[in-house]
Amino acid sequence: NGNAATFARFIAAGYFSLVALNFTDTTSLDHRIAADLRRNRHYRIIQIVPYGIEIPPIGQGTYVIWRYEQRP
């Protein structure tokens, strides 16, 4: 598990060029990170990628991929 405040500081500084979240093992942390990404105008969702081939819903999900983009 990670520290949401630490991730928030790195997101605010534009440290991550890409962020991939799947909201499974660290659900509450992923939601807090996603909220920080949404509040930062430099990050935007570039793709939602499905994964898994098992019988739904176990073993299937999606990654939400965010990218940092320098904006004026």
Q: Tell me the pLDDT tens digit for each residue of 13-62.
A: 999 999 999 999 899 999 999 999 999 999 999 999 998 877 666 678 89
Bridge partners (DSSP) of residue 62 are: 50
Tokens 């405040």 correspond to what residue? 5
Tokens 């962020």 correspond to what residue? 19
The DSSP code for 26 is T
User: Which tokens belong to 58?
Assistant: 């176990």
To the question of pTM greater than 0.85 for the whole model, the response is: yes
Tokens 């990628």 correspond to what residue? 49
Alpha helices in 1-72 (DSSP H): 4-12, 27-39
Residue type, 46: I
Look at residue 6 in the predicted model and tell me its pLDDT: 97
Q: Reply yes or no on whether the pLDDT at 72 is more than 90.
A: no
